[in-house]
Structure 1
Amino acid sequence: MRTRLTARIDAILEPWFPERRLFLRSDSETRFIRLRPSTQVLAFAGSAAIVAWAIVATAVLLMDSIGSGNFREQARRDQHTYENRLNLLASERDTRSEEALASQARFNLALNQISDMQTELLASETARRELETGIEVIQTNLRKTMKQRDAVRKELDTLQQAATQTTPSDTLADAGENVSETVDFLVSALSDTASERDKILADAQQALTEADDLAFQIKLMRDQNDVIFRQLEDAMTVSVKPLDKMFRSAGLNTDSLIDQVRRSYSGQGGPLTPLSFSTSGEEPSMDTSRANRILNQLDALNLYRIAATKAPFAKPVHAAVRYTSGFGYRRDPKTGGRRLHKGSDFAGPVGTAIFSTADGVVTHAGWLSGYGRLIKIQHEFGIETRYAHLSKIRVKVGQRVSRGDRIGDMGNSGRSTGTHLHYEVRVGGKAVNPMIYIKAANDVF
């Protein structure tokens, strides 16, 4: 059955693939191999398949080479764009830092001006009160002198009437002499009283004029204080608002954060003593209340700045690096499977300096499984940072570090495909995106 089927197939293929014989000749004999049409078809199909496979493989390799070249070119362009962006961010950060320093200098100058003006205001208030007391004394003396003058006039009238009613000549003569002496004394007393009254009136008028001048100067000083207060209030708003926004962008509760810093730094960052310009138990003035509000805002600004050094808002690498992988699920570079990447990767040369992103205490400095050489730093507010795949560790467990301290060098230790830094931020033991903190601080530091 099989021979018949083969013969029929050969008969069908005979017009296109006629039977051929391949002769093999040696010294003693000659042999041949019969190539039936079906055999030729199989050989032709196999050759065609090999050629097609070679063409497809060549095309695939060519397309892969072209794609790899395009990918490398795109990667170079992305790296160049990223480096330009980093340089721009660094420039903006320096600009913001200079503006913050300038604002702080202006604030300190304005605070000194307020202190001087408040001193002058206190002196003016004291002088005004002394003048008011002097005017009251002068008016009291004036009223007393006028009463004495009226009493002397009444006594003079009584003596004159008594002299007129006396009839005897001797008595009249004696009375006349007495009246003449009394009148001279009274005239002299009245003259002195009038002079003293005129002088008191002149002093009172001068005191009133000086009081008006002092009131005008006090009004000018209050207007100047109002301008300075407004400038200080605006400066405090501009200084505190970006810091508050930075912490809220990072997902931190600013109220509990400030309370925690205040409790920890009661000797340095606690509430400032409120101003008090009253010496007689009076209610604080409007200027006093405004000054106290500004001092409270200054205290809040100080607390924010302390808290900013305790949270990881700084960058772990200051040199130019390439951002190679972010936080979230990704294709694992080793196994190819889908896994959660719990940090951010920054690629750079071996030995690139790695810095602490906030104040804290080193809790681990050594080798740990896939992390390789790893540093863990515990910060305030339940925050922990991790720096992995290092080539060198420059800190020890228990060592206290500050933001910006160099803690290690970039490397390729552990489960890694190349030199880079794996940087993690954990809050309450749970990994969060480190770029949230870094981006939140771009407009502040």
Structure 2
Amino acid sequence: MSKSSAQFSQYPQHHPHDHGRSFNRRPVSTAAAIPLPATDDAYTIVHHGKQVRLGPVVFWIVVGTVVLLGLWSAATATYFAFRDDVLTRLIARQAEMQYAYEDRIAELRAKVDRTTSRQLLNQEQFDQKLDQIMKRQTALESRATALGAMPDVTGSIPRATPQRGDAAPPQGTPKPSPISDTVIFVAPPDREARLESRTPVVANPQPNQFAKVQGFDNVLVRLQTSLDQVERRQIAALSAVEDSMESRARRMRGLVSDLGLNLADLEAAVPRTAMGGPFVPVKLTANAGPFEKQLYRINVTRAEVDRLNRTLALVPYRKPVIGEVEFTSGFGVRSDPFLGRPAMHTGLDFRAATGDPVRVTASGKVVSAGWSGGYGRMVEVDHGNGLSTRYGHLSEINVKVGEIVKIGQVVGLVGSTGRSTGPHLHYETRIDGEAVDPQKFLRAGVRLSAG
């Protein structure tokens, strides 16, 4: 192969496959040669006298194709020569990537498990704390119920059916007065302390949903704070009740002592009512807390106050008339209003208007009801244990002999019968038949009501 400007040989070319063959050489005329243009850039391929002209573009395409085929053959040969090593490295790389991927998955799974476990633990702790709070709230509600159910121990005895001469019932809370058995026990405002809400502040958590730990803590702190406030109010209320009852019991025992009376004798004179039942001793449980112990002490004191109330219902330390006490004549020696000579006055004269109700100052039994000399119309009530009271100069008597009267019951109306210079009530207190100063009993009643 040569450019067209090259001169082809004048001799026939010898083909390698023609060895052994006889050739008849014929002379080739030089004139028979195909002249080629000298300026042509084409490539000519001559084989057995045949010529193929290729342009430069086609030539380089053929050359490029041959080169590419050669490179591809070399690459293929190289691949097959080294494919075992390549495959080994590829497999190792793939295995390494797979192991790394599995390790990553395992790490993420472990992280998820830890997070889930932590959330479950937080949820469990929250549930436990919430359960404790709910139990505490239930206990506080039970305490509040116990405080609310605790009766007031005032010792006041309901008045009988209104009778003629009774004043209109006072509006609002009556003032402490010996006629109504001294003081009315008023519980502190926190007596019936209640929980602000019987429903927990926090809503029930939705299934499979967990709040943040900080949110849990905030909710629990609010609940604990609310319950602490309720508990403090309950303890304060219970302490106030205990102090009040103990103070009242002391004053009641002191009243008996001041009057020189025997408490045992007074208790023995208390009429028995229809009561009974099996004896069940009061005792505290082994796990009783401070609240239960304090409540136990209050119940014991309340029982004592109730017993003293029944006992003191027989002691005439109350006023026989309603309103301000005004004496027109005291107990002891005085100038007789009719004779003007010194005389012993055995009672107290209360200023009152004709027709004002006269009330018995202690429970007892009527032993006299009628005209009695200088007393005029007079009622005498025996309170037992040697105590008795007399109500003289009545304009009208509302009871009869043998009748059982209660504290505050109207026994008659103020008048001026008998040895009297004007409407008033003559009131006497006697021990074993001997007249004693009624003011001693009235003063003891005032001290009891003032506590």
* Structure-1-length-normalised TM-score: 0.46
| Greater helix proportion | 1
Q: Which has the higher contact order (CA 8 A, sep 6+)?
A: 2
Q: Which has the larger radius of gyration?
A: 2
